[in-house]
Amino acid sequence: MTQGDARGAAMLSRLLREHQARQGERRELQERRRREAIAAATRLTEALVDHLNVGVAQAYVNQRKLDQEVKTLQAQAAQFAKQTGQWITMVENFNQALKEIGDVENWARSIELDMRTIATALEYVYKGQLQPACS
């Protein structure tokens, strides 16, 4: 081997080492970027899940509030129906009382008319008895 060949081989060997060193650096850089990308994707996924969990938790809270409101509304509706039934009963009783008062009033008028008729008849009879005695 000549000196030029030895230098060429040494240069080639140095270039190969440099190339291998650069490739190693590139691999390390690529591996570091891959780990950073995985970490960033993990953080993004966790942030998305947290955001969704907040929405789900709020929906759950809202659903519980709605359920409570529905129960309250049902109880109030039942109470209102009961009270309305009581009012209807009271109105029906009042109407019945008015009818009875009307019936009593009609009965009283009828009695009064009968009494006037009887009074008039008695008056005629009484006057009829007095006239022959006076003549």
pLDDT digits (tens, 9 = 90+) for 85-96: 999 999 999 999
**What gap in Å lies between CA 135 and CA 129, rounded to an integer?**
11
pTM: 0.45
What letter represents residue 7's amino acid?
R
pLDDT string in tens for the chain (135-residue length): 677 777 878 888 888 899 999 999 999 999 999 999 999 999 999 998 888 888 888 999 999 999 999 999 999 999 999 999 999 999 999 999 888 888 888 888 899 999 999 999 998 888 888 765 555
pLDDT of residue 128: 82
Terminal alpha carbon distance of the chain:
193
Contacts of 129 (CB under 8 A, 6+ apart): none
Contacts of 1 (CB under 8 A, 6+ apart): 9
**What gap in Å lies between CA 18 and CA 30, rounded to an integer?**
18
pLDDT of residue 62: 94
pLDDT of residue 127: 86
The structure tokens 């019936």 sit at 103
Task: Give the pair of three-digit tokens for residue 83.
Answer: 């009270």
**What gap in Å lies between CA 11 and CA 30, rounded to an integer?**
28
